Structure 1
């Protein structure tokens, strides 16, 4: 109950302009309370007069574990479980998935081109085989006729007859 009374009294004093709040930030501290500690101060300090790690700017209420970033000169989120941190992780994951999908689509297009080339090559082979089969179909009867004429002579060879006659004498 005393904390509530103190908080009310402090708010009254702050609203009257007698006390200003400054914010201390030690991002390296293992104590989370020291990452963004509100310090009431009677009076007003200029930015030049602020002690080390004291800041006049209040951290956003949306930040779960706010710390002061010296590079950006603003409060940033330190917790990886905060909504902004989770959104950043999801965006990074989404970008990675998008890259994988693009790579997959490219690979799929390349495979489709390869498949088209293979189909064209096989179609060419099939046409060649059909043409070869057609030519062989025309040649087979001719070869059969030739083999019949060689195997069954209609007339005896004249050289053979003269040999027989010479041998008979």
Structure 2
């Protein structure tokens, strides 16, 4: 079983289409939606885990790109500001996937963005606000941009 965490951006022209249903029906993939913001007649953003056999996954990903969905790895959407982080470890206590963990014996907090599920618990917990959710910022900026208004 092949699985990846993805950020999908839907342009306004296809936001009302049954895209996820087609992934299941036509490409034999399963999914877990972690977060979704869909704006009718505007645009949409979905954070999901997509899984299936490798061949079906690749074909499903190509389908998404062919219809105009922008596909990003979740690793592109979550960042840690190393200058703000003071290695307190609070984030490691709430991270359900182990993407944030303490390297011992150095006691250094490490972030494995490939394991991140974008739950955003670390963002709420971090006292120094070192964890940044970039796809939320992009969506907010696009929503405020008059060029993106219907």
Instruction: Give the TM bin, normalised by the shorter chain.
Output: under 0.3
Judging by fraction of residues, say which structure has more helix. 1
More strand by share: 2
TM-score by length of 2: 0.19
> Rg larger in 1 or in 2?
1
TM-score, normalised on structure 1?
0.17
Which one scores higher on RCO, CA 8 angstroms, separation ≥ 6? 2
